[in-house]
Amino acid sequence: MAYRWPERCATLFGKSLAMEKRMPTLLYSPTSPYARKVRVLIRECGLAKQIDEQTALPLDDPEALLAANPLGKVPALLLDDGSVLYDSRVICAWVAAQVAGHGDSGDAAHYWQAQRRAALAEGVIDASVALVMEGRRPSAQQSDYWIGRWRNAIARSLDVLDGEVDALHDQIDAITSAAALGHLDLRHGDLNWRDRRPALAVWFDAFSQRPSMQATVPG
């Protein structure tokens, strides 16, 4: 593979991380292929010494992981400014961008947080669809354990989105959030997601008026 990144890492990424900043920390599980992808990329970039790695087994619901990623999934990357990135695609893109020398400005931080928020909303969609699929299996075969995990992941993630609602404008994170909330309304009215999340409810009702949303109402 013709990776040219390691050379650039030493001058760009390596320098900025090695100076006064704390090291980013990757929360990972040793068996997760999503985490492995990130860990391989980190090594291909020559960044193994600049990114700390800590084991977090998602099915144990470690507090640090739930605080970092309300979806309760690995990998998650804790950045030195206290912000977090997930999922694996976002982390990989961030690593590549650091190496390419993009990624240290305030605009970049906004961009990465929007990508992270889009991954969060996508995780809500994944869990919402998984719940529907599980509900279509014979009831004796349905897993209370997974239904509980998905419902909890949705609840935690919506709490976070509710707290970040001011950042939802017309980017991919907003669109993905709207698609997620629309699916919850369509399939999981029993979750009453608007209860306890008034800001997100107001935001969604306004966003739902956009012609693009009106033209794509599921049905």
Ligand X SMILES: N[C@@H](CCC(=O)N[C@@H](CS)C(=O)NCC(=O)O)C(=O)O
Residues in contact with ligand X by the rule CB under 6 A: 29, 32, 34, 58, 72-75, 87-89, 149
Place of tokens 């400005």: 105
Give Cα 130 distance to the centre of its chain: 17
Amino acid, res. 2? A
Q: Which is nearer to ligand X, 17 or 90 (CB)?
A: 90
Least distance from ligand X to the Cβ atom of residue 53, Å: 15
Q: Which is nearer to ligand X, 118 or 168 (CB)?
A: 118
Taking the complex as a whole, the smallest distance from the CB of residue 89 to ligand X amounts, in Å, to 6
Give the dihedral sign, CA 178/180/183/189: negative
Nearest approach in angstroms of CB 146 to ligand X is: 8
Q: How far apart are CA 39 and CA 48, in angstroms?
A: 8
The helix/strand/coil state of 70 is: coil
Report helix angle 88-99 to 106-135, nearest 10. 160
Complex with ligand X: residue 89 or 210, whichever CB lies closer:
89
Q: Which is nearer to ligand X, 34 or 204 (CB)?
A: 34
Minimum CB distance to ligand X, residue 1 (Å): 21
A 10 A CB-CB count for 88 gives 24
The residue (of 155 and 201) whose beta carbon lies closer to ligand X is 155
Tokens of 56: 């977090």
Nearest position to ligand X, beta carbon: 87
Calculate the alpha carbon distances from 109 to 63, 94, 102 in Å: 25, 10, 10
Q: Cβ of residue 150: shortest distance to ligand X, in angstroms?
A: 8
